[in-house]
Chains A and B, each alone.
Chain A
Amino acid sequence: MNFEFPALPYAYDALEPHIDKMTMEIHHTKHHRAYYDKFIAAIKGTDLENKGLDEIFAGVSKASVAVRNNGGGFYNHNLFWEVLSPGGGGAPSGKLADAINSSFGSLDDFKARFNDAAANRFGSGWAWLIVKADKSLAVTSTPNQDNPLMDVNDVHGRPILGLDVWEHAYYLKYQNRRPDYIGAFWNLINWEKVAENYEKAL
């Protein structure tokens, strides 16, 4: 398996004013990059080198903590960048919209659940929209760089939308005001990509 560090699918300033250029640049070239580099170093010469991320995460409790932290950090940010877009926001449509309505009641109910998960994750972590094994949708959150594909979490599923709530994701612009950052996130969501992730997860 060859893991590649992905380019950002838009310019560093593309998400202004919701996420500032400097945050994007440091987040991608420093934080994300470091997770990638350390993940590659952690699996080098081990039997994980030829496995996919799904398989690695499914057995991550048996791997080193470096694999868990950096593999998570690598994958989570891959997903994060691709579900954001300068032309994002609005509402989902089609099958995904139906699934959100049937799982949460309405788009607003889903947003409220997701906001809570993101705001109440104490310390560093992520909020997720996932597709569970029974194909239903759920909102969950994980600490640090864990994710719902890992066997260390209670709630399992495939993430189709994720929000990074580490302070590095928002501190330069929002400082202690995490809820403002979460609010801004809804203006950036690339729902077409999320719908695509949903289709793939089914």
Chain B
Amino acid sequence: MKKISILMPLIAAGMLTVAPAVAQKAESNKAKTVKTAVKGTPVPSVGTASQVKELPAEMSFWMTPAAKLTFPALPYSYNALSDVIDSLTVAIHYDRHHRAYYTNFIKAIEGTEMEVLSIYEIFNKMSEFPVSVRNNGGGFYNHVVYWQNLTPGGGVKPSGLLAEEITKAFGSYDAFITRFADAAKTRFGSGWAWLAVDFKTGELFITSTANQDNPLMNTEERRGFPILGIDVWEHAYYLKYQNKRADYIESFGKIINWKDVEARYQYFLQARKNFLN
């Protein structure tokens, strides 16, 4: 197996025990068990070694050979987000759309050189690989971020370093929310809006991508590490909001899991040099 070193800085610093693919056991999780078995993964604010150890899923994700990636459990029940996203939408979105991307991604890389690459290594050479890998690999990864970015108890504003960086980059939290919402509203057709950390400068930026593309892919003009994503495919909101995409976007703020967004930000700062292609 090819050595995948995205996490090396953390491992070297003794901050992470190498235990690939722990906590991503959900492939066998049937829809029914998701309701009870997976109770909101607590994502701590990162900063101490012991806290970092509580994030094995995110860490191991980047060092797992793509062929060994598993389909992660939904970190809450289908109806947990129902103030903003109805349970039928979550159920179909997770168990049909997301699962299909996962299954088709694994199928698309089967028997190819991509099997032993990390998903980032694939995204980093996206333009060299078949469109089925781009669409399904993106669809798989993007929804992993999406579900973890959300929580029933969300909406608490970001804090600490991330809050400072948001103010620095956008002027204020409210200004950020407006810009992020604009990116989501104006993405024509299917796609995503993202808050990401620029690979080169380390600055926060807002971008949007078409279909299942994301800012990790070398097909994007401005590349960075996504820490918050909103799915604006119609399947993400149509059962509840129909043509009113703006209403879905406005409500989205209520369920953002800023702890998860902060954890991703901190993770990237620590592992940044591994994303500099």
Residue of B nearest to A23 (CB): B242
What is the interface of chain B, defined by CB distance below 8 A to chain A?
92, 96-97, 100, 131, 135, 188-191, 210-212, 233-235, 238-239, 242-243
The answer to whether B135 touches A122 (Cβ under 8 A) is yes
The answer to whether B92 touches A176 (Cβ under 8 A) is yes
Residue of A nearest to B131 (CB): A122
Which A residues touch B212, using CB under 8 A?
Answer: 122-123
The answer to whether A168 touches B238 (Cβ under 8 A) is yes
How many whole Å from B43's CB to the nearest CB in chain A? Answer: 29
Residue of B nearest to A171 (CB): B238
Tell me if A30 counts as interface (CB < 8 A to partner B). yes
Residue of B nearest to A146 (CB): B189
Interface residues on A, range: 20 to 34
How many whole Å from A125's CB to the nearest CB in chain B? Answer: 8
Which A residues touch B242, using CB under 8 A?
Answer: 26, 30, 168, 172
Interface centre among B92, B96, B135, B234 (most CB of A within 10 A): B234
Q: What separation, in Å, do the CA atoms of A145 and B242 have in the docked complex?
A: 18
Tell me if A166 counts as interface (CB < 8 A to partner B). yes
How many whole Å from B123's CB to the nearest CB in chain A? Answer: 17
Residue of A nearest to B244 (CB): A30
The answer to whether B96 touches A176 (Cβ under 8 A) is yes
Which A residues touch B131, using CB under 8 A?
Answer: 122
The answer to whether B189 touches A144 (Cβ under 8 A) is yes
A123 and B235 in contact, given A26-B243, A175-B92, A176-B97 (Cβ under 8 angstroms): no
How many whole Å from B240's CB to the nearest CB in chain A? Answer: 11
The answer to whether B92 touches A167 (Cβ under 8 A) is no
Residue of B nearest to A166 (CB): B234
5 A-B pairs in the complex with CB atoms less than 8 angstroms apart: A31-B243, A122-B135, A123-B212, A172-B242, A176-B100
Q: What separation, in Å, do the CA atoms of A168 and B241 have in the docked complex?
A: 11
How many whole Å from A59's CB to the nearest CB in chain B? Answer: 20
Q: What separation, in Å, do the CA atoms of A145 and B233 have in the docked complex?
A: 15
Residue of A nearest to B89 (CB): A175
Q: What separation, in Å, do the CA atoms of A125 and B233 have in the docked complex?
A: 12
Interface centre among A30, A31, A145, A167 (most CB of B within 10 A): A167
What are the 5 tightest A-B residue pairs by CB atom distance, in nearest-first order?
A167-B234, A123-B190, A124-B189, A144-B189, A123-B211
Scan A30-71; emit 1 where CB is below 8 A from any B CB, else 0: 110010000000000000000000000000000001000100
Tell me if A143 counts as interface (CB < 8 A to partner B). yes
**Cross-interface CB contact of B191 among A69, A123, A167, cutoff 8 Å:** A123
Which B residues touch A30, using CB under 8 A?
Answer: 242-243
Q: What separation, in Å, do the CA atoms of A167 and B92 have in the docked complex?
A: 13
Q: What separation, in Å, do the CA atoms of A122 and B211 have in the docked complex?
A: 7
**Cross-interface CB contact of B239 among A122, A123, A144, A172, cutoff 8 Å:** A172
Which A residues touch B233, using CB under 8 A?
Answer: 123, 167
Q: What separation, in Å, do the CA atoms of A65 and B239 have in the docked complex?
A: 28
Interface centre among A30, A143, A176 (most CB of B within 10 A): A176
Q: What separation, in Å, do the CA atoms of A166 and B239 have in the docked complex?
A: 14
How many whole Å from A163's CB to the nearest CB in chain B? Answer: 16
Q: What separation, in Å, do the CA atoms of A187 and B17 have in the docked complex?
A: 59
**Cross-interface CB contact of B190 among A34, A69, A124, A176, cutoff 8 Å:** A124
Q: What separation, in Å, do the CA atoms of A145 and B190 have in the docked complex?
A: 11
Interface centre among B188, B191, B235, B239 (most CB of A within 10 A): B188
Q: What separation, in Å, do the CA atoms of A82 and B107 have in the docked complex?
A: 40
10 extra A-B contacts, CB within 8 A, seeds A69-B188, A167-B235: A65-B188, A122-B131, A124-B189, A145-B188, A167-B234, A172-B242, A175-B96, A176-B97, A176-B100, A176-B235
Which A residues touch B100, using CB under 8 A?
Answer: 176
The answer to whether B239 touches A171 (Cβ under 8 A) is yes
